[in-house]
């Protein structure tokens, strides 16, 4: 039991925020539905966002001047409340919903226009949609709870007036109530709430808290008090389950709560259906029929899912993609299926002449790791490559795969190589493949005393059966001239030796 109610301390504030939202939005939702202005929160949220980005455009910084930014968005919201209260027409000649839709579209577009000129960029729009439930902390939750408490108290004190103008405005006007004034007060307090809520939870979640519990309550009862109480209890339960499930499943919190709300709505719809159905037996039948339709639909979706592509075919077709990294990825993928080597080997060898350095390099490395001696002659050509990385890999592959013919190639290339390190490396590799011609130039490098003298010295010392000091290259030279004709490479010892 304890397990079920366990929530880590870091999730308590997001949950508290959800509960605060439930409290005020379930109540406001009743008004919103009675007034048939379902999307007014989206419009007001967008107006508040336009205020934020306008504040940024006029020089304020979201991080540094939060108060100024908040006042901007609040001022815009109050202006929005003014628009909505003055545009409510008697007899609904133009539906209020149309005006709300227009305000939403226009402020959204205006927000994009302002953003195109500011440093914020589209992530501000993203922010409005998704909110920051996960990053909410104690001060924000407490502040919000206080604001909502004041708004709630205001509505409680004047509950008769607010209810009258929402549920029966014509009657209220006849009784001498200023509908425009109380409309304005309603939208202003509503805007106050929405501005804070959207910043925390994003428009999706706020919209859900506003509308879904209220609609769910309507399905169960017509009575206002029952609707409110079921809405509050249901909203709180869903908030807890959502936060908890988000923690255990790793799914993002806000969207998960929204989807859970929808599920409970479906559930309460089914309950209502059974409650009002005159014939319970046929209701059960209909229920099963509906379930069958859903099952067929879901099964169909699954049946027509994309079949897994054969990795070999995928890699082979990617080898000729115009995008260089696709070709590189293809070579990496082929490495994982060596059992089908005879199918892809010639294609990878062909990639040794790819126009992209990294693809050539990847091809060399794959052929090297497979000890593919048949590719040696092609790899030798890459000693003239204009990329250092490709050359490096080619030298390494030749060292692994090479023979005496290859060592002659390396030697030849060293004669025209301007880069002293690359030249040393070519000569050392040539020596290591048993080419005696490399000895004299390496001695010259040691004598030259440059940065790479040490490397040349080390190679000579390692591969010649003659002990000498770095300063004694004269001795080495004399010894080499005397023994050269009798020296042969012994791959087993990695050394030259006399026959």
Interface residue list for another protein (CB under 8 A)? 8, 10-11, 14, 63, 112, 116, 119-124, 126-127, 130, 132-135, 137, 246-247, 249-254, 308, 311, 322-326, 328-329, 332-333, 336, 355-358, 387-389, 392, 418-422, 450-451, 454
Q: State the nearest-atom distance from the C-beta of 58 to another protein, in Å.
A: 16
**Which is nearer to another protein, 97 or 365 (by Cβ)?**
365
Q: How far is the CB of 211 from another protein (least distance, A)?
A: 22
Report the residue number, 152 or 450, with the smaller CB distance to another protein. Answer: 450
Residue 238's nearest CA partner among 15, 454, 69 is 15
Q: Minimum distance between the CB of residue 286 and another protein, rounded to whole angstroms?
A: 38
Between 218 and 422, whose beta carbon lies closer to another protein? 422
Q: Is 336 helix (H, G, I), strand (E, B) or coil?
A: coil
Residue 80 to residues 179, 195, 247, Cα–Cα distance (Å):
17, 12, 37
Beta-carbon-side half-sphere exposure of residue 100 (alpha carbons within 13 Å): 21
The kind and range of the H/E element at 122 are none
DSSP three-state, residue 383: helix
Cβ atoms of 496 and 463 within 8 Å: the answer is yes
**Closest CB 135 distance from another protein, rounded Å:** 4
Residue 151 contacts residue 189 (beta carbons within 8 Å): yes
Do 50 and 59 touch, CB atoms closer than 8 A? Answer: no
Q: Which C-beta is closer to another protein: that of 130 or that of 463?
A: 130
202 vs 234, beta carbon nearer another protein: 202
**Residue 204 CB, nearest approach to another protein (Å):** 12
Closer by beta carbon to another protein, 59 or else 418:
418
State how far the Cα of 207 lies from the Cα of 25, in Å rounded to an integer: 9
Shortest distance in whole angstroms from residue 141 CB to another protein: 13
Find, among 345, 409, 353, the residue nearest to 374 by Cα: 345
Q: Which is nearer to another protein, 269 or 311 (CB)?
A: 311
| Residue position matching structure tokens 């003014």 | 82
The length of the chain, given as a count of residues: 499
**Which residue, 249 or 499, is less far from another protein as judged by CB?**
249
Transcribe 181-223 into DSSP letters.
HHHHHHHHHHHHHHHHHHHHHHHHHHHHHHHHHHHHHHHH-S-
Q: DSSP readout, 19-36? A: HHHHHHHHHHHHHHHHTT
Q: Which is nearer to another protein, 94 or 332 (CB)?
A: 332
Identify the helix (H) or strand (E) that includes residue 489.
Answer: strand 487-490
Nearer to another protein, 18 or 164 (CB): 18
In angstroms, what is the minimal distance from the CB of 251 to another protein? Answer: 7
How far apart CA 212 and CA 195 sit, in angstroms, is 19
| CB contact at 8 A, 265 and 212 | yes
**Shortest distance, position 156 Cβ to another protein, whole Å:** 33
Closest contact distance (angstroms) between CB of 324 and another protein is 5
3-state secondary structure of 480: helix
Alpha helices (runs of H) in 250-310, residue ranges in sequence order: 253-276, 280-303
Looking at beta carbons only, is 386 or 485 nearer to another protein? 386
The answer to whether residues 222 and 8 touch, using CB atoms and an 8 Å cutoff, is no
Which helix (H) or strand (E) segment is 279 a member of? none
- How near is the Cβ of 6 to another protein at its closest, in Å? 13
Q: By the 8 A CB rule, do 193 and 209 touch?
A: no
Shortest reach from residue 254's CB to another protein, in Å = 7
Is the Cα dihedral 131, 137, 143, 145 positive or negative? positive
């Amino acid at each position: 039991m304890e397990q079920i109610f366990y929530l880590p301390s870091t999730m308590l504030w997001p949950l508290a925020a959800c509960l605060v939202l439930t409290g005020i939005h379930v109540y406001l939702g009743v008004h919103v539905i009675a007034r048939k202005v379902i999307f007014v929160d989206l419009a007001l949220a967008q107006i508040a966002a336009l205020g934020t980005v306008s504040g940024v455009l006029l020089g304020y910084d979201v991080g540094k001047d939060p108060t100024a930014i908040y006042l901007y968005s609040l001022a815009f919201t109050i202006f929005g409340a003014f628009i909505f209260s003055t545009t409510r027409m008697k007899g609904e000649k133009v539906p209020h919903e149309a005006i709300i839709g227009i305000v939403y579209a226009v402020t959204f577009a205006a927000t994009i226009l302002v953003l195109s000129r500011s440093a914020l960029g589209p992530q501000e729009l993203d922010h409005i949609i998704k909110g920051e439930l996960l990053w909410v902390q104690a001060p924000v939750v407490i502040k919000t709870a206080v604001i909502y408490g004041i708004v709630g108290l205001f509505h409680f004190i004047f509950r008769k007036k607010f209810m009258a103008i929402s549920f029966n405005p014509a009657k209220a006007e006849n009784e001498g109530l200023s509908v425009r004034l109380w409309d304005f007060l309603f939208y202003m307090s509503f805007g106050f709430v929405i501005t804070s809520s959207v910043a925390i939870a994003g428009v999706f979640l706020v919209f859900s808290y506003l509308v879904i519990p209220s609609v769910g309550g309507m399905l169960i009862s017509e009575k206002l008090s029952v609707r409110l109480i079921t809405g509050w209890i249901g909203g709180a339960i869903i908030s807890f389950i959502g936060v908890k499930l988000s923690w255990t499943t790793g799914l993002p919190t806000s969207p998960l709560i929204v989807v859970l709300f929808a599920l409970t709505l479906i559930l309460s719809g089914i309950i209502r259906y059974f409650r009002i159905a005159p014939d319970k037996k046929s209701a059960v039948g209909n229920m099963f029929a509906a379930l069958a339709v859903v099952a067929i639909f879901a099964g169909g979706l699954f049946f027509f899912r994309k079949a897994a592509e054969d990795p070999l075919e995928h890699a082979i077709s990617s080898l000729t993609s115009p995008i260089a990294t696709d070709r590189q990825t293809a070579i990496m993928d082929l490495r994982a299926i060596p059992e089908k080597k005879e199918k892809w080997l010639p294609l990878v060898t062909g990639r040794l002449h790819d126009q992209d350095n990294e693809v050539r390099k990847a091809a060399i490395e794959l052929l090297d790791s497979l000890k593919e001696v048949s590719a040696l002659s092609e790899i030798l050509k890459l000693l003239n490559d204009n990329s250092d990385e490709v050359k490096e890999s080619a030298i390494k592959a030749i060292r692994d795969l090479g023979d005496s013919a290859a060592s002659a190639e390396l030697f030849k290339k060293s004669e025209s190589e301007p880069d002293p390190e690359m030249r040393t490396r070519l000569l050392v590799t040539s020596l290591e493949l048993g080419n005696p011609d490399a000895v004299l130039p390496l001695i010259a490098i040691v004598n030259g005393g440059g940065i790479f003298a040490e490397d040349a010295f080390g190679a000579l010392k390692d591969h010649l059966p003659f002990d000498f000091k770095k300063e004694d290259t004269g001795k080495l030279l004399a010894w080499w001239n005397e023994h050269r004709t009798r020296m042969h490479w012994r791959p087993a010892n990695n050394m030259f030796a006399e026959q």
